[in-house]
Chain A
Amino acid sequence: MEARTMKSRTMKSLLWMGNEAIAHGALHAGITLASGYPGTPSTEALETIARLKPEGVHVEWSVNEKVALEVAAGACYAGARALVTMKQVGLNVASDPLMSLNYIGVKGGMVILAADDPGPISSQTEQDTRRFAQFARLPVLDPSNPEEAYAMTRAAFDISEELRVPVIIRPTTRVCHACACVAPFEPLPPKPPEGFRKGREWVIFPRLSYESKKRIVAREQALSDALARFNIIEEPPEPTDCGIACGGISYAYVKEALERTGLQCRVLKVGAPNPFPNEIAERFLDGLSRVIVAEELDPVIEDALRPLCAARRIPLRGKADASLPSAGEYSVAALADALRLFVGGVKLESPGARSEAPPNPPARPPVLCAGCPHRASFYAVKRAVGARRAIYCGDIGCYTLGNAPPLDMVDTCLCMGAGITIAQGLRRTERDTPIFAFIGDSTFFHTGMPGVLNAVYNNSDIIICVLDNRTTGMTGQQPHPGIGKTATGEPAPAADIGNILNALGVDSVRRVNAFDLDQAERAVSGAMDESGVRAILFEGPCIAVAARVKPQARNADPLRSGAEPPPYMTVRESECVGCKICVRKLGCPAMSIIRDKRIAAIDPALCTGCGLCAKVCPVNCIVHSTNGGEAATR
């Protein structure tokens, strides 16, 4: 097994992001297929493979994580190696095939990248994929840096194939989105698949699952042996009775904290936390009288060490006794403080007050971009609804940012696809309130469609607003089934969301240009006058894509090429009355008020010329720059 991956000759060192390192690790292990769904912080892994377009490797953005895992499973059944990529909440979507796949097993190696997000920085939850691996009884690897992410990914394919088990690699954001100098090993060519051999073992039945369950339990020792090299004990220069157990990025913080403080601790690095390395942990505990655990997210290592420590009457510190925080990211400074207290019993001195308090920088939550079609769509709905009460169910994507003032158009947000379905439940309790469900195009394909069918079937009464910006926006503009091209840019049939809505039984579908405020507002009013399941398709390209593709033809005619629009908007200073309506209604990052002049200003570097502000200006003082506008001044 070692012979296949770990050739000793290494190639030139390269600066790779953790996700790139995982992509190359999979390519160098000879994968034939890579599939995934975008999700921060995992996205760049599949993007890297799509960009490289390696010969003999099929790479696809699947419509969701469940589909991605199943596609990969098919390839692995035939003996090919496959990588599947997703973020941690994506693993929830893929959990159905994952749980069953462990009972079937794989022939070709399968590695699942499920990226966790302590903080969380860009996620709905702080869930811990190591826990998921325990639940699913699957091996999981926890790299502490991009170099390890590369090596672990390569090794994971061998382990997967040898033990016929999918292997999860679980980096966290600070590994995924960190770059480091990685020295790759000699790549292997794609492993030629043997082909699918028919047999009863590929068909899951209760009897087969009973036998599989026994095999899964019996294989734990073999897994532990295969994973042992990822679990390491490091002795300090001087003898000590203090031990610290850690894994993932926390290991990097622990190493630096020990160097900074000069404290002596034995370190247990758990790179493969499931099945838990009990034998190695027992060796770690030999001779210790105190142990602390440093790990972000869930207390996985801590919970595993607890019975071992209890048997030896060794006090265990970590999250349970609040020695370290139970939520959010860790840091070198936080661990240095915790270690000083743990090893040296030193209470922290509170940092001295600074002589001069700094001025408060302005808050900068993420916002919809200048020129974003979602702003226009939200505003059209808001204007059509007016003073009436309505409920706005949101979903996952850039348009979640529509919750911020001044738009304030997201009343609920739960998980991918849940806007349309939550709206249906609310409808049964809020009989007289119009209920809108907003969903983006990529999310519509991901898990939105079953909710639409459910609404039609169960005679619901909601207005579905599909915000079609022709890309997967938040994760960095990946293609999806509606675009007409694949992950590698090959042409593909473009799914039409309007037709899909019709086919699902939604008869009332209105299609509007998101930037045509009057048309969009009329469409919303028209839909509000009807009952049943109705849909409005707001079409307008993601400005991040449009700016990259065609700077001069962004908003003229969405989704189609058309007239040349002016590049930006500008304020006729002499006509601006300083009412601030443009700023206060839209929250566009290109707009501000010049304080001393008390008039609106538009930053030409940010403005894309979408013209929405001109449509809300009550005195018509905002014009296209080519249309008699004065030079923008600030």
Chain B
Amino acid sequence: MSTMSCLLCGVGGQGTVLASRLIAQTAMRLGYFARTAETIGMAQRGGSVVSHVRWSRGEVHSPLIPPGEADVLIGFEPGEAVRCIDYLKPNGFAVVGGSPIPSVLAALSGESYEAEPFLAYIRGRVDRLIIIDGARVAEASGSAKSLNIALIGAACGALKFNADDIIVTLKERMTGNILDMNRRAFEIGASAAARGYGYKEG
């Protein structure tokens, strides 16, 4: 295997940084060399955020994924997934959170921001696609904050990890109710992936 690259994108506060660390930590435990690059700072205040994760048995030079080279795109919401879709390889895998996060600027200018045109565009470009319903994840896991783990659950196979590999990493980082909640979220994502591409959970 050469370098694996996973791009995560969303809105500040959605948990992209934790998600990228979980992936990197899992890769590292499996004996890969891993790099990440994360958006930390000003843009975290509700702005667009992107995390890059790359791992390999050999050397990884750049922490940033060049456009067109991501094996996996994890989009935490539809508009941000479209913003970063050019990072995805031809025939790459994408998992996208289907619930849009309203934008203050859009709300102010009276523009509408609905998920569907963005999801339709992604469907048109990506064959290996899973869309996860954020509301369903929140309901089933008990928290909207666990969307990140549900998305990783759906991407797990495409990341070439076993489910257990991720679960072990979760256990390294959390305990108790938080762990249980995230395990439920992981299962929702994993079962959506098991049902096949294009399946919309909920």
Contacts and interface: CB of A to CB of B under 8 A. Distances in A.
Contacts of A462: none
Contact of A363 (B12, B85, B106, B125): B106
Nearest to B145: A605
Nearest to A580: B110
Given A145-B63, A178-B36, A332-B62, A359 B46 contact: no
Given A15-B34, A174-B37, A584 B103 contact: no
A214 B40 CA distance: 43
A9 B116 CA distance: 56
Given A122-B41, A252-B62, A587-B108, A359 B21 contact: no
A220 B144 CA distance: 58
Interface string A577-606: 000100110011101110100000001010
Interface stretch (A56-64, A277-285, A366-374, A489-497): A366-374
Given A178-B36, A584-B108, A253 B61 contact: yes
Contacts of B42: 40, 121-122, 366, 474
B2 to A, nearest CB: 10
A252 B85 CA distance: 24
A583 B103 CA distance: 11
A256 B24 CA distance: 20
A332 B28 CA distance: 24
Nearest to B47: A366
B45 A252 contact: no
A13 interface: yes
Contacts of A475: 41
A406 interface: yes
Interface stretch (B75-83, B156-164, B187-195): B75-83
A595 B112 contact: yes
B35 A401 contact: no
B38 A177 contact: yes
A261 to B, nearest CB: 12
Contacts of B21: 15, 179
Contacts of B144: 605
Interface string A221-256: 000000000000000000000000000010011011
Contacts of B79: 361-362
Interface in B92-126: 102-108, 110-114, 117-118, 121, 124-125
A358 interface: yes
B45 A398 contact: yes
- Chain A contact patch, size range: 35 or more
A221 B66 CA distance: 40
A260 B2 CA distance: 13
Interface in B55-89: 61-64, 66-67, 79-80, 82-83, 85
B9 to A, nearest CB: 10
Nearest to B102: A592
A591 B61 CA distance: 42
Contacts of A145: 35, 63
A121 B39 CA distance: 9
Contact of B11 (A252, A256, A364): A364
Contacts of A327: none
A358 B45 contact: no
A331 B47 contact: no
B121 A583 contact: no
Contacts of B67: 333
A332 B82 contact: no
B81 to A, nearest CB: 9
A356 B33 CA distance: 37
A358 B35 contact: no
Contacts of A405: 105, 108
Contacts of B107: 583, 591-593
B102 A252 contact: no
B174 interface: no
A320 interface: no
A259 interface: yes
B44 interface: yes
B43 interface: yes
A253 B63 CA distance: 9
Contact of B34 (A40, A179, A252, A591): A179
A591 B113 CA distance: 13
B105 A364 contact: yes
B105 A365 contact: yes
A563 interface: no
Interface string B137-156: 01000001000000000000
Contacts of B48: 364
B186 to A, nearest CB: 20
A13 B28 contact: yes
Contacts of A593: 107, 110
Nearest to A372: B45
Closest 3 CB pairs of A and B: A361-B79, A362-B103, A40-B41
Given A181-B28, A336-B66, 6 more contacts: A177-B39, A179-B24, A180-B36, A249-B63, A369-B46, A589-B46
28 contacts: A15-B28, A122-B41, A122-B43, A145-B63, A174-B37, A177-B37, A179-B21, A180-B63, A181-B33, A181-B34, A255-B62, A260-B66, A331-B66, A336-B66, A362-B79, A362-B106, A363-B105, A363-B106, A364-B46, A364-B47, A364-B105, A366-B45, A368-B45, A398-B45, A475-B41, A583-B108, A589-B104, A605-B138
Interface of B: 11-12, 21, 24-25, 28, 33-48, 61-64, 66-67, 79-80, 82-83, 85, 102-108, 110-114, 117-118, 121, 124-125, 138, 144
